Amino acid sequence: MALKWPPCARPLLGGCALLSVATAALLAHVLLHDFTVVPRELRDFSQVPEEMSRARQQGASGPGAAPTQCDVPPNSRFDCAPDKAITREQCEARGCCYVPAGWRPQGSPMGQPWCFFPPSYPSYKLGNLTSTETGYTATLTRHTLTFFPKDILTLQLDVLLETESRLHFTIRDPSTKRYEVPLETPRVRSRAPSTLYNVEFSEEPFGVVVRRKLDGRVVLNTTVVPLFFADQFLQLSTSLPSPYITGLAEHLGPLMLSTNWTKITLWNRDIAPTSDVNLYGSHPFYLVLEDGGLAHGVFLLNSNAMDVVLQPSPALSWRSTGGILDVYVLLGPEPKSVVRQYLDIVGYPFMPPYWGLGFHLCRWGYLSTAITRQVVENMTRARFPLDVQWNDLDYMNASRDFTFNADGFGDFPAMVQELHQGGRRYMMIVDPAISSSGPPGSYRPYDEGLRRGVFITNETGQPLIGMVWPGPTAFPDFTNPEALDWWQDMVAEFHAQVPFDGMWLDMNEPSNFVKGSVDGCPDSDLENPPYVPGVVGGTLRAATICASSHQHLSTHYNLHNLYGLTEALASHRALVKARGMRPFLISCSTFAGHGRYAGHWTGDVRSTWEQLSSSVPEILLFNLMGVPLVGADVCGFMGDTSEELCVRWTQLGAFYPFMRNHNSIHSRPQEPYRFSDPAQRAMRTALTLRYTLLPHLYTLFHRAHTGGETVARPLFLEFPEDPRTWTVDRQLLWGEALLITPVLQAGVDEVTGYFPAGTWYNLQTVIGEVLGSLLPPPPGLLKSAIHSEGQWVTLPAPLDTINLHLRAGHIIPLQGPGLTTTESRKQPMALAVALTGSGEARGELFWDDGESLGVLERGAYTQVIFLARNNTVVNELLRVTSEGAGLQLQRVTVLGVATAPQKVVSNGVPVSNFTYSPDTQTLAIPVSLAMGEQFLISWS
Helical (H) or strand (E) element with 166? strand 166-172
> What is the spatial distance between Cα 385 and Cα 654, in angstroms, rounded to a whole number?
12
Residue 294 binned pLDDT confidence (cut-offs 50, 70, 90): very high
Share of the chain above pLDDT 90, in %: 89
Least confident segment among 120-129, 454-463, 779-788 = 779-788
How confident is the model at residue 703, as a pLDDT?
Answer: 98
Question: Could you tell me the CA-to-CA distances from 295 to 237, 564, 670, 814 in Å, in that order?
Answer: 19, 30, 42, 34
How confident is the model at residue 66, as a pLDDT?
Answer: 77
Q: What is the pLDDT of residues 668-681, one digit of tens each?
A: 999 999 999 999 99
Per-chain mean pLDDT for the chain: 93
Among candidates 692, 940, 699, which has minimal Cα distance to 804? 692
Among candidates 841, 829, 775, 769, which has minimal Cα distance to 802? 775
Residue 169 pLDDT > 90: yes
Is 667 within 8 Å of 746 (Cβ atoms)?
no
Residue 320 binned pLDDT confidence (cut-offs 50, 70, 90): very high
How confident is the model at residue 767, as a pLDDT?
Answer: 85
Residue 108 binned pLDDT confidence (cut-offs 50, 70, 90): low
Reduced to 3 states, what is the DSSP secondary structure of residue 758? Answer: strand
Is 703 within 8 Å of 735 (Cβ atoms)?
yes
Residue 769 pLDDT > 90: no
**Cβ count within 10 A of residue 859:** 10
What mean pLDDT do residues 896-905 have? 97
How confident is the model at residue 870, as a pLDDT?
Answer: 98
Residue 817 pLDDT > 70: yes
Q: What is the pLDDT of residues 836-859, one digit of tens each?
A: 999 999 999 999 999 999 999 999
> What is the spatial distance between Cα 521 and Cα 518, in angstroms, rounded to a whole number?
9
Q: What is the pLDDT of residues 259-269, one digit of tens each?
A: 999 999 999 99
Outline where 777-879 has alpha helix (H).
821-824, 855-858
Residue 1 pLDDT > 70: no
Sign of the CA dihedral with 266 first, then 271, 277, and 280 last: positive
Residue 104 binned pLDDT confidence (cut-offs 50, 70, 90): low
Least confident segment among 19-33, 355-369, 519-533, 793-807 = 19-33
> What is the spatial distance between Cα 521 and Cα 541, in angstroms, rounded to a whole number?
8
Q: Which of 344, 392, 431, 506 is catalytic?
A: 506
Residue 47 pLDDT > 60: no
**Cβ count within 10 A of residue 794:** 9
Residue 609 pLDDT > 90: yes
What does residue 221 show for φ and ψ, rounded to 5 degrees? -145, 100
204 is catalytic: no
Among candidates 646, 657, 656, which has minimal Cα distance to 682? 646
Is 711 within 8 Å of 657 (Cβ atoms)?
yes
Tally of CA atoms within 13 A in the half-sphere of 706 that contains its CB:
11
Residue 49 pLDDT > 50: no
How confident is the model at residue 14, as a pLDDT?
Answer: 31
Residue 64 binned pLDDT confidence (cut-offs 50, 70, 90): low
How confident is the model at residue 252, as a pLDDT?
Answer: 98
Q: Which of 509, 604, 729, 736 is catalytic?
A: 509
> What is the spatial distance between Cα 115 and Cα 136, in angstroms, rounded to a whole number?
35
89 is catalytic: no
Q: What is the pLDDT of residues 802-816, one digit of tens each?
A: 999 999 999 999 999
Q: What is the pLDDT of residues 917-930, one digit of tens each?
A: 999 999 999 999 99
How confident is the model at residue 20, as a pLDDT?
Answer: 32
Q: What is the pLDDT of residues 509-567, one digit of tens each?
A: 999 999 999 999 999 999 999 999 999 999 999 999 999 999 999 999 999 999 999 99
Among candidates 757, 510, 613, which has minimal Cα distance to 252? 613
Question: Could you tell me the CA-to-CA distances from 639 to 606, 609, 664, 790 in Å, in that order?
Answer: 6, 12, 8, 39
Among candidates 807, 815, 814, 864, which has minimal Cα distance to 841? 807
Sign of the CA dihedral with 150 first, then 153, 156, and 157 last: positive
* 534-542, Cβ contacts within 8 angstroms, sequence gap of 24 or more: 534/263, 534/265, 534/278, 534/307, 535/265, 535/267, 535/269, 535/278, 535/305, 536/269, 536/271, 536/277, 536/278, 539/515, 540/267, 540/305, 541/515, 541/516, 542/269, 542/515
Cβ-based neighbours of 882, under 8 Å, separated by 6 or more:
none
Among candidates 852, 736, 743, which has minimal Cα distance to 796? 743
Q: How far apart are the first and last CA of the chain?
A: 69
Residue 453 pLDDT > 80: yes
What does residue 319 show for φ and ψ, rounded to 5 degrees? -130, 105
How confident is the model at residue 67, as a pLDDT?
Answer: 79
Residue 15 pLDDT > 50: no
**Cβ count within 10 A of residue 531:** 20
What does residue 179 show for φ and ψ, rounded to 5 degrees? -60, 135
* 411, amino acid identity: D
Question: Could you tell me the CA-to-CA distances from 465 to 258, 297, 433, 443, 485 in Å, in that order?
Answer: 40, 40, 9, 16, 22
How confident is the model at residue 784, as a pLDDT?
Answer: 86
What mean pLDDT do residues 414-418 have? 98
* 301, amino acid identity: L
How confident is the model at residue 103, as a pLDDT?
Answer: 66
* 221, amino acid identity: N
The burial class, CB within 10 Å (0-12 / 13-18 / 19+), for 913 is: exposed
Among candidates 234, 243, 351, which has minimal Cα distance to 284? 234
The alpha carbon torsion through 350, 355, 361, 366 (nearest 10 deg) reads -100
Rg (CA), the chain: 29
What does residue 903 show for φ and ψ, rounded to 5 degrees? -150, 135
Is 798 within 8 Å of 365 (Cβ atoms)?
no
Full-model pTM: 0.94
Residue 713 pLDDT > 80: yes
Is 786 within 8 Å of 796 (Cβ atoms)?
no
Residue 914 pLDDT > 70: yes
Residue 593 pLDDT > 80: yes
Residue 770 pLDDT > 80: no
* 934, amino acid identity: Q
